[in-house]
Amino acid sequence: MRVEVRKIELALAVAFLILGVLIAMASARMPMGTPSLPGPGFLPLILGALIAGTAALIGVRSLRARDSGEPVQFGHVYIAVTVAALIAAGLAFERIGFVPTVAAFMFVMLAIISPLGWWRSAVAAAVVTVACYLFFGVVLGIRLPPMPFWP
Amino acid sequence: METLIHLAHGFSVALRPENLAFGFIGCLWGTIVGVMPGLGPLTGLTLLLPLTFKLDPSTAIIMLAGIFYGAMYGGSTTSILVRIPGEAASIMTCIDGYEMARKGRAGPALMISALGSWVGGTASVIGLMLFAPPLAQLMLAVGPSAEFGLMLLALLVLSFVSAGAPVKTLLMVLLGLFIATMGLDPITAYPRFTFGSVRFSDGINFVAMALGLFGVSEILLNLEQIAKVQVIKPTLRSLAPQWRDIKDSAPAIGRGTVIGFVFGFIPGISHVVSTFVSYAVEKRVSREPEKFGTGKIEGVAGPETANNATTGSAMIPLLVLGIPAIPATSILLSALLIHGVQPGPQIVRDHPDVFWGLIASMYIGNIILLILNLPLVGLFVNLLRIPYVYLAPGVLLVTVIGVYSVNANPSEILIMSVFGLIGYVLRKGDFDPAPLLLAIVLGDRMEVSLRRALTISDGDWWVLLQGAMSKIFLGALTLLLALQGAAWLLGFRRKMIAVSDGKS
């Protein structure tokens, strides 16, 4: 998908405007202190307002811009796969353990983005998993989550 | 004399077998990440940071610093041979370096680039050694109000030198400052934006954010455009430069050293800006400016020297003030804190092993890099032949394991993934995430120093203008704001952005 930079800029400006307002609203519920001795909510409130203001300025600027710029590539199936695989790895890491998570992560990534094919990706994922376990777990002594169903 | 005694102590630390070995690993890894497009010093540092947790603080910092300046050396190889900058600071080297390679002069370009890098790197370490201790002595007298002024000045300079639109840089700085407020309030321990979870009581993990914003987002950007690279392979024999090459590049190396060293102090993207300035200066002083872009050796020597000369001076604000001048040094700051070393004026006195060991190791590291980058250039070039489709999953896997190992907390993998996606979208919208990262680092201290100064003065805001140091910092701040306004009025800034966009 190709999108004009100006549109991405505008979308980000709107997102940051909303974020700024939310920050200011949440900060307003915190103790403000006094102007001479500010409390925990004082700085976040100012920052929230400034974020919203700056984002609004960027939004207006991009709306008024005459040159929308060259469209850029935005999004790709590999990006969706990579982010989904990373989030899945984060969710599975302690639930199913290091070995199955790493093996599945590498298999999915290699099978989808490399030209290796399913079988060779499975073999490569197995080799990488063993190598990682030996290097990080045994050589470096990093505590890696065990498999809960392994004796 | 005292400096020499301290330096001798530093060498006794740096020459310990384990420090030499890890220093070498750092330099080698730094060169590799510098050579590989899509990996840079920041990604290289964040990837190996968790592996240093079990090391002695001085060993860990020596290794991580090796990655930082090693990447500056490695970046030139890809620029010259493939016309793809290995890292942002090598963009200018592409212009004349690749033209030289196309004309069969890749060898002299690589050789002069390595020699310039060595001269710039070594000279900046001498500067670090001479300037850091007296500056540390001076900064010991700085109170919270002056510290607040200093932080404010650093953030303003950051938006001043940033090549992108200032309003976008400002937004990134504000977001960084907001993220820094997350977690328990440093004065009252009131929970702010913790979503009711104890896991966020310390805020969002900095390493996970940095890895996401720079490491993961860079990989996502590269996955979009996987291309096979065409590499020009030089022979060892062709490396020797001619006498004329040395004669032409010597003044450029000298000027690059000064430019790089001065720019290294400035927060932001000084290592990148210094190369632009160096290239512009070389073109300006040349008798044949029209030949720049067709393979002029000064166009390689100046920028490559400048980006290496920033490495030593960028360490001065980091070590003495605790202010990371560039994103890569913010990871070094994290590493120092993780290892229980508080950067600041007292580092020279409290951690002589780390401070002087690091300085001595940088002298050794620059020699290691000179040796690594000349005869082994063919080996590094072969790394460029590894298809990105195999490299990306491997690098991502190491980031996942690395970020988990920091606190054995799987939610940090999720934070890294989310920030990776945020970094990707930000960069697509022309928002540079570097100021955000630096503001996160400075934000916490900025708030603490402001509130501490107000508490001490019983709520008198004028305290921020009292004291000589506060006046100096706030005076510099006012001057910069005035300069910013004047530059804006003269349209200089717009021209500068247009030039930098055209070159990149």
Residues from chain B contacting residue A73 (CB–CB below 8 Å): 224-225
Query: What is residue B498's predicted lDDT score, i.e. its pLDDT?
Result: 54
Q: Residue B93: enclosing H or E segment and its boundaries?
A: helix B91-102
Q: Residue B309 above 80 pLDDT?
A: yes
Q: Which residues of B334-346 are buried (b: 16+ CB within 10 A; e: fewer)?
A: bbbebbebebbbe
Fill in the DSSP letter of residue B233. Answer: P
Q: Which of the four pLDDT bands, split at 50, 70 and 90, describes residue A5?
A: confident
- Whether residue B296 is predicted with pLDDT greater than 50 in this model: the reply is yes
Average pLDDT over residues B195-217: 83
Average pLDDT over residues B8-14: 89
Closest residue on chain B to A34 (Cα): B459
Asked if A109 contacts B396 with a C-beta cutoff of 8 angstroms, the reply is yes
Contacts of A145 in chain B (CB under 8 A): 410
* pLDDT at position B497 over 80: no
Q: What ipTM was estimated for this complex?
A: 0.93
Whether B428 has its CB under 8 Å from any CB of chain A: the answer is yes
Test the B interface: residue of A19, A47, A64 with most B CBs within 10 Å = A47
3-state secondary structure B465-477: HCCHHHHHHHHHH
Least confident stretch, A113-127, B224-238, B265-279: B224-238
pLDDT, one tens digit per residue, over B159-178 is: 665 656 788 888 999 999 99
3-state secondary structure B239-298: HCCCHHHHHHHHHHHHHHHHHHHHHHCCCCCHHHHHHHHHHHHHHHHCCCHHHCCCCCCH
Is B496's pLDDT higher than 60? no
pLDDT-based confidence at B503, cuts 50/70/90? very low
pLDDT band at B504 (very low <50, low <70, confident <90, very high): very low
Residue B305 to residue B105: CA distance in whole angstroms: 19
Q: What does the H/E/C string look like for B332-387?
A: HHHHHHHCCCCCCCCHHHHCHHHHHHHHHHHHHHHHHHHHHHCCCHHHHHHHCCCC
Average pLDDT over residues B251-264: 89
| pLDDT in the model for residue A23 | 95
Give me the residue label for tokens 């401070």. Answer: B355
Q: Which of B181, B216, B394 sits opposite A44 (nearest CB)?
A: B181
Q: Tell me the residues of chain B between 192 and 211 that have a Cβ less than 8 Å away from chain A.
A: 192-193
Token pair belonging to B231: 């590499």
Contacts with B, A 77-116, CB within 8 Å: 78-79, 82-83, 85-87, 89-91, 93-94, 102, 105-106, 109-110, 113-115
The 10s digit of each residue's pLDDT in A32-91 is 888 778 889 989 999 999 999 999 999 998 888 777 667 887 878 889 999 999 999 999
Q: C-alpha distances in angstroms, B114 versus A142, B43, B207, B304?
A: 37, 22, 31, 8
Contact check, Cβ <8 Å, B393/A109: yes
pLDDT confidence band for B133 (50 / 70 / 90): confident
Average pLDDT of the residues in B445-465: 82
Residue of A38, A51, A109 lying closest to B171 (CB–CB): A51
Chain B closest-CA separation from residue A151 CA (Å): 22
Which of A64, A76, A107, A142 would best serve as a mutation to test chain B binding (most B beta carbons within 10 A)?
A: A142
Which of B8-17, B186-195, B377-386 has the lowest average pLDDT?
B377-386
* Spatial contact of B312 and B264, defined as CB atoms under 8 Å apart: yes
A120 touches chain B (CB under 8 A): no
What pLDDT does B236 receive?
A: 57
- For residue A52, give how far its alpha carbon lies from the nearest alpha carbon of chain B (Å): 9
Give the pLDDT of residue B151.
80
pLDDT-based confidence at A108, cuts 50/70/90?
very high
Half-sphere exposure of B91 (CA within 13 A, CB side): 17
Q: What's the mean per-residue pLDDT of chain B?
A: 82
Determine what percent of chain B is predicted with pLDDT higher than 90.
11
* pLDDT at position B229 over 60: no
The reply to whether the predicted model has a pTM over 0.95 is no
Structure token digits, residue B352 = 């002589």
| Domain boundaries of chain A, sorted by first residue | 2-73, 77-139
Q: How far is A150 from chain B (nearest CA, A)?
A: 20
Average pLDDT over residues B284-299: 85
Average pLDDT score over residue span B305-324 = 85
Query: CA geometry: angle at B154 spanning B450 and B481, to 5°?
Result: 100
